[in-house]
Amino acid sequence: MAHYAIGDIHGCYDQLIQLLDKIQFSPHTDTLWLTGDLVSRGPKSLETLRFVSQLPQVVMTLGNHDLRLLTYAFNPKKRAFPNHTLEEILKAPDLFSLCHWLRKQPLLHYDATLNFVLVHAGLAPQWRLDEAISYAEEVESTLQGENYIEFLRSLPKYLSTQTHLCWQPQLNGYERLGCIINYFTRMRFCDKHACLDLTVKDCKHPSKSYYPWFQVPNRKNQALNILFGHWAALQGKTGVANVHALDTGCDYGYCLTALRLEDRKRISIKCPPSTRSALHNFE
């Protein structure tokens, strides 16, 4: 009856199976929480997506690479250029059933009983939990609604690294949804106004004006227990007791990590350096 949160899998299917074996995961009694980015970079994105989507008790939040897969899958022009680690999924006979499952996954999951929030990149420092839940629902209802194809075809331009980096409540339309997605799926560093810098992926920012999102002064969601992935350079460490970094870089040949929510015990397995596919060409 345990709950395990696992960080970004990135197509490292063999390592996922090894980790589930190590924690003696029982699919019908235990629940899996995943920070997202199931696909890209690693060698077995298709197997990972098939396996996770068939689990009876799984919760996942969408990562930037999961969303990128959706933008490819539902755009025939992009589907025709699969020179990357998504190729196997984009050519699979079950592509659309997998991607319809994927587009129905949330950006945020909150369990009040367990008292944990699950997100891919983080929780924007200027958002209270109720605000974050409602902004996530705006995106989720669009991805699950009848205009999802139009939205996914427009999305890449709204995720540009030069725009939509500062949340403003008055944003509207796809600009607003793109900005919300940037905070939930791509955030690492913010300034004191909670504007994003998406260009730095290391664990230290060269400018003192930028903080890791969980260290921004007066963060409005400080009381929450937060689980997130996305930021492998942190190597699982945030320095903040109730903010749990779970992406430990399995696709870079480091570790895949599970956190048991009941006692906050971490269990990891080492990943071989060869895990990363030579074909990766994404951020």
Binding residues for Mn ion, per CB under 5 A? 37, 63-64, 230
244 neighbors 227 (Cβ within 8 angstroms): yes
Burial class (CB in 10 A: 0-12, 13-18, 19+), 116: buried
User: What phi-psi label fits residue 45: left (phi over 0), alpha (psi between -120 and 50 degrees) or beta?
Assistant: alpha
Residue number with CB closer to Mn ion (63 or 236): 63
Amino acid letter, residue 201: K
* DSSP bridge pairs for 109: 118
By DSSP bridging, strand 31-34 and strand 58-60 are parallel
Residue number with CB closer to Mn ion (25 or 152): 152
Reduced to 3 states (helix: H, G, I; strand: E, B; else coil), residue 59 is strand
Instruction: Output the smallest distance, CB 65 to Mn ion, in A.
Output: 6
Instruction: Output the smallest distance, CB 185 to Mn ion, in A.
Output: 6
Reduced to 3 states (helix: H, G, I; strand: E, B; else coil), residue 4 is strand
How many degrees, rounded to 5, is the angle at CA 249 between CA 279 and CA 137? 95
Instruction: Output the smallest distance, CB 129 to Mn ion, in A.
Output: 22
Instruction: Output the smallest distance, CB 34 to Mn ion, in A.
Output: 12
Residue number with CB closer to Mn ion (25 or 277): 277
Residue number with CB closer to Mn ion (14 or 37): 37
Residue number with CB closer to Mn ion (114 or 203): 203
Instruction: Output the smallest distance, CB 9 to Mn ion, in A.
Output: 11
Instruction: Output the smallest distance, CB 173 to Mn ion, in A.
Output: 25
Amino acid letter, residue 230: H
Residue number with CB closer to Mn ion (6 or 25): 6
Residue partners of 180: CB distance under 8 A and separation at least 6: 107, 135, 136, 138, 139, 167
Burial class (CB in 10 A: 0-12, 13-18, 19+), 24: exposed
